[in-house]
Amino acid sequence: MVHVGIGYDVHGLVAGRRLVLGGVEIPHAKGLDGHSDADALLHAITDAILGAVGEVDIGHLFPNTDPAWKNAPSRIFLEEAARRVKSRGGRIVNIDATLIAERPKIFPHLAAMKAHIAEALGLPVTRVGVKATTNETLGFVGREEGIAAMAVASVDLPENPNPES
């Protein structure tokens, strides 16, 4: 049976941080602020996968008070979400996500992001969608104070999951 999950994340843009989105470092004057590498796209996708299998959200699995996740690559969180799908005998069908950023231009990096996400999840790249849009200069995204991401995941789970797994 196919289950769908949704994820959303925002991080503030600050000077002196790297900008990492979808596991890809993008040259820019500012980067995303956060405890981990603050990869809002991977966080949104992780939450979408966790939501599809009814797990607690990323902030509870990987608290920002835990020094283990200080500057951690968010791929760790994504891989853990995929592992939880597998442990229930499930498989991720597809992912789709949208980044909302005024600047920098995201489009040139989308292919690399998709490849990175697909590899982390063990999926063909054709099952990973990542798009980007601006916020038409409106609001905190428009003022370049932060970058937002939203994602959905569909996960095929057995109807009678083995309670042992």
Binding residues for Mg ion, rule: CB under 5 A, are 9, 43
Give me the least distance between CB of 11 and Mg ion, in Å please: 6
* Separation between Cα atoms, residue 57 and residue 49, nearest integer Å: 9
Determine the residue with CB nearest Mg ion. 43
| Residue 129: closest CA among 85, 99, 84 | 99
Give me the least distance between CB of 43 and Mg ion, in Å please: 4
Nearer to Mg ion, 9 or 55 (CB): 9
* Separation between Cα atoms, residue 18 and residue 28, nearest integer Å: 8
Give me the least distance between CB of 148 and Mg ion, in Å please: 10
CB crowding 108-146: b at 16 or more within 10 Å, else e? ebbebbbebbbebbebeeebbbbebeebeeeeebeebeb
Nearer to Mg ion, 85 or 148 (CB): 148
Give me 21's structure tokens: 């989105």
Nearer to Mg ion, 17 or 43 (CB): 43
Nearer to Mg ion, 144 or 156 (CB): 144
Nearer to Mg ion, 46 or 154 (CB): 46
Give me the least distance between CB of 42 and Mg ion, in Å please: 9
Q: State the SS3 of 94-154.
A: EEEEEEECCCCCCHHHHHHHHHHHHHHHCCCHHHEEEEEECCCCCHHHHCCCEEEEEEEEE
3-class secondary-structure state, position 14: strand
Give me the least distance between CB of 4 and Mg ion, in Å please: 21
